[in-house]
Amino acid sequence: MNKVNLVAKYVNDKLANDKTGHNIDHIQRVVKMAKLILQSEPAANAQLTIVSAYLHDVIDDKLVDSVEIESLKLRLYLIKCDFSNGEIDDIFNIINNMSFSKNLKFKRTLSLEGQIVQDADRLDAIGAIGIARAFYYGGHFGDVIYDENERPRTLENAKQYRKHTTIINHFYEKLLKISHQMNTKTAIEIAARRTQYMQDFLKEFKLEYKAKR
């Protein structure tokens, strides 16, 4: 079994039971999108990009009880898979710095491979799939769908970001902003279309909410 397949197995074992929208289906979509973006980014290391795409959620603080323990487990597994220390450091630099919450105050510097994985992950948060995931995630935590008296927040730090709000507010606080944060030309083009789809959805939602349709 090659390195990428070994990593895919590790991720499947870790996230197989996730119920927040960060399960293996999400991972596989991110990997597919990363591969698509790679076609227009020949300078990127394809294996590093794909491995990081598989691993981007396995030590996320939203999903694990201890980032430190899971990070150690992952590092030991990558050593077992015969990744070099340099490759492991590159992977951790990507998955530790690419998240939306880590980039609220300022945009962190990522390698080209990290930029591709970040774009692929963020594209899966918008568009039709993004809408589905927003409601799936919010429903899992019992979030209110919409409250016209609750205004969207201006997010300034990860602690504030982690506090739940209405599902519709999540679009204004995060999802509609993502298209302006893309790194690669391919992702910029895809994000524009997916963002328009979300805007159309929100317009229709509010008309239906007010019984105007």
| Residues recorded for the chain | 213
What percentage of the chain exceeds 70 in pLDDT?
96
The CATH number linked to 177 is: 1.10.3210.50
Q: Which range of residues forms the domain containing residue 205? A: 3-209
Please determine, for residue 105, whether its predicted confidence score (pLDDT) is greater than 90.
no
Query: How many domains does the chain contain in total?
Result: 1
Q: What is the mean pLDDT of residues 94-104?
A: 88
pLDDT digits (tens, 9 = 90+) for 148-201: 999 998 876 656 766 888 999 999 999 999 999 999 999 999 999 999 999 999
- Predicted TM-score (pTM) of the model is 0.92
